[in-house]
Structures are given as C-alpha cells and as structure tokens.
Amino acid sequence: MPRYKLTLEYDGGPFVGWQRQDNGLSVQGALEQAALRYTGETVTAHAAGRTDAGVHAYGQVAHIDLRRADPARKVREALNAHLRPHPVAVVEAEEVDDTFHARFSAVERSYVYRILNRRAPAVLEAGKVWWVPQPLDADAMHAAGQELVGQHDFTSFRAAECQANSPVKSIDELVVSRQGEHVEMFVRARSFLHHQVRNIIGTLSLVGLGRWSRDDVRRALEARNRAKAGPTAPPTGLYFRAVRYEDAATLTTPPAAESAP
Amino acid sequence: MPRYKLTLEYDGGPFVGWQRQDNGLSVQGALEQAALRYTGETVTAHAAGRTDAGVHAYGQVAHIDLRRADPARKVREALNAHLRPHPVAVVEAEEVDDTFHARFSAVERSYVYRILNRRAPAVLEAGKVWWVPQPLDADAMHAAGQELVGQHDFTSFRAAECQANSPVKSIDELVVSRQGEHVEMFVRARSFLHHQVRNIIGTLSLVGLGRWSRDDVRRALEARNRAKAGPTAPPTGLYFRAVRYEDAATLTTPPAAESAP
C-alpha cells in the first residue's frame, strides 16, 4: 500500500487547526475528505506539526496511505481538485517508503512569524500578519532572542494545555530581522512545545517596544513560570515553514520528471 | 481649506472598483464615508487612477479637502479608524497645496501584475494573484514585452469601454521576471488605457506558454484591433503600485516628524 508524503500550503484562517475536531473544519479533515472523494478510501493523515486554529503553513508535511497506487503527480492533482474550495493545497507529493512518518521521522521543524509594523492596519495582508502599530526595534528583539537559543526548560513559554512529556527543548536558530514595514522571526528546532513560538514572539515584542531588556527575557526563561513571560501573540502571523527529514527516510524513488515548475 | 494627499492600500476583492457606483461599495465611497464620519463633511475623493473591480493597490494616491484643519498624522489615524472593517487603509497622509490634484498632477503611474505559476492552486495568495498552472517562460515574456515599450497606438490593448480621447500611449518601462513560483510584471507610464495592463499581461502569457512569438506581439500591436491581441487577464493579479508627481506640486510643508515607522 503506497505511502505519499504531501507538502501542504494552507491559510489557517477558516480552520479549527490541523487536528480533526467536532467543532469545525480542520486541515486534516479537509485532506482526508479529499482523499475519500478521490479514491473512495477512508484514510488517516498524519502531519509533522499539529498547528493551532488560525496558524498558516506553506511547508507543512503530512503522509497518507492509499490502496490505489497512482503516480505521485496524479495524487497531487486529484487531491487539489477535491480540496476546493478549502484554502489548502498539495504543493508537492512524492511516494515514500512505509518507514517514513511525517511526524516521527522529522528531525527539524521551522516556523516564520510575520509582524506588520506600521501605523496603518493590515489590508492586503489582513489575517496573514500580526499588526503592531508601535515601532519595534528588530535588532533588540534579535539580540534578546539569542537568550532562548540552545537547550532550555521552556516552561515559561509553554501553553497550560501542552501535552509534551518534557518542557526541555533545544532551539537551534532564532533570527529576527526587519524587511521594510515587516519584522520577521525565523526559528528552527527539532520540535516545539504548544504555543512556544507565539509565546516567544509575544515576549520579544516587549523587547522590541522597549519595555523589556534582554536580561528580562533571560529571567523570564529561568523563572520556569508561564506568568513570567510575555503574552501569546496571535495565530495570524504564524507560518509553519518547513520540515527536515533524514534523507534515507524520505525517498525511495526519485521524484518523477515533470514539465510543470 | 486644507488639501490632503493620501496614499492608499486596498484589497480590491470586495469593491466594485475605485469609482462610486450604485451597485456596490467602491473604494472612493468607503473613503468618503470615513471622511464624513470623521469630520461631518461631505467630501469628494479624487484618485490618481480609477482601478477596476477586484484590482488591488498598495500605492494609490487620492486627495480630499477638509474644512477641519487637523495635522496630516491625525487625518491618517482618524480615517483608518473610520475605514474599518473595509480592507482599505491610509498608509500615508500629507498636507499639500491646493494646486495639487491626485489625478491631474500625476506624471507617472506604475502597476505590478503577479502570476502564481505552479501546479498547486493559490491558497495563501488566493484572490491576490492570477494562477497559471502551465509553466511560463518569463524571459520570453520580458523580451516580447519590449515590443510595447515606447509610444504606440494601443488600440489592440484597449477595452471597448475605454473613455480616453486617444489610444496613443507611451510605456516607459516594462519588466517581466521570475521570482521562484511567481512571475511578475512591472510597468510604468504617464497614464494607461482601460484594461491596458491586463490586456498586455494576458497577451504576454501566450508568449510565456510558447503559443505566441515576440513577432506575434508586434503584429498584434500593429493591427490596432483588440481582437488581434490576447485575453484580458483577471483583476486579482493587478496592483496599482505608485504614482509620481512633480516635486513642486506635492509638498508645501515638510512631512511631520513622526515616531512611528
């Protein structure tokens, strides 16, 4: 039974999040429904990261098993046809070995958080950024963010409902930079705690506004107390960017030659 | 009576276009309504370019006259507060001499047209691009586009309902380039005919798909017959980018010092 690795882009706005829930449409549900319409099979989709309601993705990775053995290219086209009108698309599909697991084979995940930092509210990017009208010092945010790089107990940056066994995580890279009216944070780690990225950017925004120092961020981390760190930033600015897998696990067959870009 | 030059960003999606109409909400109407709520004055807003339904802007310029003489910064903030929830915002406001006219003082306008060129449909950019799933040769589009640079009779690229006195226009620059999955066209001219940009990109897309040659574009131009050029591209990919004014006309007072970015 062929396994397909699917790279997904979605607008998190109308979804209750990745995970199937009773209270609304999930990305997982939309994908599984598209697979059902396409093949008549009831499948379970597994994702690298279970994004929250409102969180976007341009490089989420999921896998599904299909009894019907179609070329990966056809799977991508058919799923995209059946995913409409939901704002989720299969950007890439490839057939992988059944030892590949979108979640458990992942060795690194990365997120981008986008802030629109100007007086005028978001218009063309409404729902796709966090609008912060007060000026932010991106360099100060970057410097303070370096306190969080490395292995730490991230209890102060963890949602109460987080289900991870341990609050200890290792952030491999965290970069905050300004691009014109935008302040962007890029962050990568093997894995993240629930709300970790949004709590980090919410805390660093206090630094950007000049209310907190780099030392305040270090003290918040050391406190191991969620109440000591900054607010949870809104989901609208958060993008699941990419997943890295051990090369051996991802590919059993070379990607099909394609005429399309 | 102070005159204010307003730089506007808007998502054209929900609007019937710039111009006030009976059949729905226009950008002009939204702006005039916001001014009325703010000052109690009935004003007329004049824009550099009357964009069609669905066409976006990040640098449209309009002007309004207000009896109430508030600092430009306050005018911007108040209009933005009253423009909600419509997807239009005043990005910049400045007080200008009453010889300034957003439309008649403009000496150059520029547009950007964005194509998403990949197999998967637009998701995060839905309604903000033209999705072309077949591969486009951006270099060939750029080369063919050079046939249109300079002064020409653009009858072949003009909408039937165009109200301009003459079909002769002068395109000063036209650049088509690929940025990853996107193909973008930048074009600037003193002024444009109705649908001219969308008819140009629709025609160049035939070149990008390999169906037309550069010579075909030249022949379409020379035919002076709308039926001889390519299709009108959808409004979703079109952005009114910027307007240039003679320096003397724009500023009577230096821009106010601002702490915001």
pLDDT tens for each residue of chain A, 261 residues long: 899 999 999 999 999 999 999 899 999 999 999 999 999 999 999 999 999 999 999 999 999 999 988 999 999 999 999 999 999 999 999 999 999 999 999 999 999 999 999 999 999 999 999 999 999 999 999 999 999 999 999 999 999 889 899 999 999 999 999 999 999 999 999 999 999 999 999 999 999 999 999 999 999 999 999 999 999 999 999 999 999 998 744 444 444 433 334
User: What's the pLDDT score for residue B221?
Assistant: 98
Q: Which residue, of B85, B104, B123, is where some domain finishes?
A: B104
B134 CA to chain A: closest CA distance, Å?
A: 6
Cα separations in angstroms, A74 against A10, A83, A93, B120: 20, 14, 9, 12
Q: The domain spanning residue A127 has which CATH number?
A: 3.30.70.660
Q: Is the pLDDT of residue B120 over 60?
A: yes
Q: Which residue, of A73, A104, A135, is where some domain finishes?
A: A104
User: Does residue B220 share a domain with residue B172?
Assistant: yes
User: Does residue A137 share a domain with residue A31?
Assistant: no
* B68-72, B169-173, B180-184, B250-254: segment of lowest average pLDDT: B250-254
H-helix or E-strand containing B28?
Answer: helix B27-39
User: Does residue A216 share a domain with residue A146?
Assistant: yes
| B105 within 8 A of B173, measured Cβ to Cβ | no
Nearest alpha-carbon partner for B35 in B2, B73, B104, B81 = B81
Examine residue B237 and state whether it is found in any structural domain, yes or no: yes
User: Does residue A47 share a domain with residue A16?
Assistant: yes
User: Does residue A49 share a domain with residue A33?
Assistant: yes
User: What's the pLDDT score for residue A250?
Assistant: 45
DSSP classification of residue B154: -
User: Does residue B202 share a domain with residue B151?
Assistant: yes
- Average pLDDT rounded to a whole number, residues B197-209: 98
Task: Identify the residue among A124, A128, A241 best suited for mutation to test binding to B, counting B beta carbons within 10 A and taking the highest.
Answer: A124
Among this protein's residues, is B216 annotated catalytic? no
Examine residue B252 and state whether it is found in any structural domain, yes or no: no
Question: How far, in Å, CA of B185 to CA of A254, rounded?
Answer: 34
DSSP classification of residue B52: B
Question: How far, in Å, CA of A181 to CA of A108, rounded?
Answer: 29
**Cβ–Cβ below 8 Å for B124 and A91:** no
Examine residue A250 and state whether it is found in any structural domain, yes or no: no
Question: How far, in Å, CA of A227 to CA of B13, rounded?
Answer: 41
CB pairs < 8 Å spanning A and B: 81
User: What's the pLDDT score for residue B90?
Assistant: 98
> Dihedral angle at the C-alpha atoms of A35, A39, A40, A46, nearest 10 degrees?
-30
Instruction: Tell me if residue B77 falls in helix, strand or coil.
Output: helix
User: Does residue A166 share a domain with residue A116?
Assistant: yes
User: What's the pLDDT score for residue A246?
Assistant: 83
* A49-58, A242-251, B223-232, B238-247: segment of lowest average pLDDT: A242-251
Catalytic residue among B52, B70, B98, B153: B52
A260 CA to chain B: closest CA distance, Å?
A: 5
Chain A residues with beta carbon closer than 8 angstroms to that of B6: none
Q: Which residue has the higher pLDDT, B22 or B261?
A: B22
The number of folded domains in chain A is: 2
Q: What is the pLDDT of residues B2-28, one digit of tens each?
A: 999 999 999 999 999 999 998 899 999
Examine residue A255 and state whether it is found in any structural domain, yes or no: no
User: Does residue B134 share a domain with residue B96?
Assistant: no
Helices (H), chain A: 27-39, 72-83, 138-145, 196-208, 214-223, 247-250
Catalytic residue among A11, A22, A52, A70: A52
Q: The domain spanning residue A60 has which CATH number?
A: 3.30.70.580
User: Does residue B198 share a domain with residue B216?
Assistant: yes
User: What's the pLDDT score for residue B256?
Assistant: 41
Q: Which residue has the higher pLDDT, A93 or B250?
A: A93
**Cβ–Cβ below 8 Å for B120 and A56:** no
| B90 within 8 A of B58, measured Cβ to Cβ | no
Nearest neighbour of A9 by CB, restricted to B84, B120, B135: B120
Q: Which residue, of A80, A104, A128, is where some domain finishes?
A: A104
User: Does residue B97 share a domain with residue B126?
Assistant: no
Examine residue A256 and state whether it is found in any structural domain, yes or no: no
Examine residue A89 and state whether it is found in any structural domain, yes or no: yes
Examine residue A166 and state whether it is found in any structural domain, yes or no: yes
| Residue B255 binned pLDDT confidence (cut-offs 50, 70, 90) | very low
A122 CA to chain B: closest CA distance, Å?
A: 8
Residue in chain A nearest B84 by alpha carbon:
A121
Examine residue A253 and state whether it is found in any structural domain, yes or no: no
User: What's the pLDDT score for residue A72?
Assistant: 97
ipTM of the complex, rounded to two decimals: 0.89
| B230 within 8 A of B198, measured Cβ to Cβ | no
Written as six digits, the tokens of B48 are 């550099």
Q: Which residues contact B163 (CB under 8 A, 6 or more apart)?
A: B194
Domain that holds residue B177: 107-241
User: Does residue A77 share a domain with residue A192?
Assistant: no
User: Does residue B201 share a domain with residue B124?
Assistant: yes
Residue in chain B nearest A182 by alpha carbon:
B261
Q: Is B245 annotated as contributing to ligand binding?
A: no
